[in-house]
Structure 1
């Protein structure tokens, strides 16, 4: 299994890119990351009074969307290891309609600071590939989910179409780092890293099998943009 590139201080990297993170997400994905999340949300069932954990919450976009799509008794906890990303996310939460229903905490997705069987739903968007050990991360997600709880993983993926794949590699390998240099105050190296994690991360079928091997059941997969991203849904 391919892990994150060695010798990369991922926390420091995300602290560095935090000020431009939201803008760059929109530029790099041409806004499609929002549509992907909307499609994923449309397939989720959120029970009343749910306890939801959004891992790698970053600037809290998915945490806010989860609060917006649930009833007023539902609580969303967003966890991230980058204090700079969380600081931006907290400002969004404070200005939202849900400051009392969203709690942002700093923590490690591979050593979650929660008791067993705490959450009804766990989500992680574009964060699993940044864990040094995705298997350990999935094991932690399984541990803190309640029996019957839902896991939703939205992640970049690799197209398997022979015609599309070379253009995909060109975009992520060459174009995206240049965007970082132009639009993110010269952060070329940081966006090279993000390309490496995208290109080296396991394919969607391997991830599905890993989830099953972790103990999850009923794993289903949706792919977006000719395989550029994939959503995995599973239950404990």
Structure 2
């Protein structure tokens, strides 16, 4: 299943529209709750200050959007996603958290963010960069909309570097995970896409290089998590370009 460009966009959109209602609890099941710990680590490293503004790109069901809003307290937080069904689930969670006065949710395209230059203090993308048609384009858009000195942050699945662990991980990710998707969510093809999307995605060292050299972010920091199962990347927009 090698899909690219517009075909990939259409396919990924259909995947997330179809799995939205089961997305949260399946994430918890498939990651053994690790995604919550990884996001908590990301928030600690970001050090969001009271009043900071943030854009959560490909916000999905808004877990990271909500964390950003709680850390900021008063700053404008925007969640953007192309899936109406994911946003519908996220909207319910935002309202339940009492954050609907602070958080704005927008259906839009990560490849063409509908915001002026230098708008936000932070731009984040969680577990979605591997699904976009053009990684560099999306990162450039995130860089464009943050203020000079602002942070561009990616939290994403990655590839373990230790060969024995990598072999076990790939076995789980390629063979077992799609079956769990079939058994618990009735979505075999959709969850088969997840390991395939990772195989096409750069490793965490290469992604750090892309952020620094191709996108032009400064002070790029990379943090492999849980033996390289996931990785956090944080870069800063130059003060002067």
Normalising by structure 1, we get a TM-score of 0.95
Q: CA deviation at 1:5?
A: 3.1
1:28 and 1:176 in contact (8 A); partners too: yes
Match of 2:60 among 58, 61, 65: 58
* Residue of structure 2 in register with 1:199 after alignment: 199
Show the counterpart of 2:120.
119
Matched, 1:84 2:85: yes
Q: Secondary structure at the match of 1:163?
A: helix
- Partner of 1:150, secondary structure, is strand
- Report the counterpart of residue 40 of structure 1 in structure 2: 42
Pick 1 or 2: higher relative contact order, CA cutoff 8 A, min separation 6: 1
Q: 5+ unaligned residues in a row in structure 1: which ranges?
A: none
Cα distance per residue 1:107-149 (max 9 Å; x no partner):
0001000111111101110010000111110111111111000
- Mapped to 1, the partners of 2:47 and 2:27 lie a distance apart of 26
Distance 1:206 1:150 in 2: 19
CA RMSD of aligned residues (A): 1.1
- Verify the 8 A CA contact 1:5 1:193 in the aligned structure 2: no
Stretches of 4+ moved more than 6 A in 1? Answer: none
Aligned residue pairs total 231
- Asked whether the equivalents of residues 5 and 197 of structure 1 are also in contact (C-alpha less than 8 Å), the reply is no
Q: Distance in 2 between matches of 1:111 and 1:57?
A: 15
Structure 1 residue 94 displacement after superposition: 1.2
- SS of residue paired to 1:121: strand
Match of residue 209 from structure 2: 209
SS of structure 1 residue aligned to 2:15: helix
Give the conservation status (yes or no) of the 8 Å contact 2:82–2:109: yes
The aligned runs of 1:39-188 (5 Å cut-off) are 39-71=41-73, 73-184=74-185, 186-188=186-188
Are the counterparts in 1 of residues 91 and 105 from structure 2 also a CA contact under 8 Å? yes
CA distance in 1, matches of 2:96, 2:174: 36
TM-score scaled by structure 2? Answer: 0.93
- What is the CA-CA distance between 1:47 and the residue it aligns to? 3.0
Indicate the SS of the match to 1:160: coil
Shift of 1:74: 1.1
Secondary structure of the structure 1 residue equivalent to 2:67:
helix
**Matched residues in 1 for 2:3 and 2:155: separation?**
20
Q: Which runs of 5+ in 2 are unaligned?
A: none
Kept after mapping to 1: 8 A contact 2:223/2:233: yes
Shift of 1:45: 2.1
Partner of 2:175, secondary structure, is helix
Alpha-carbon distance in 1 for matches of 2:28, 2:205: 27
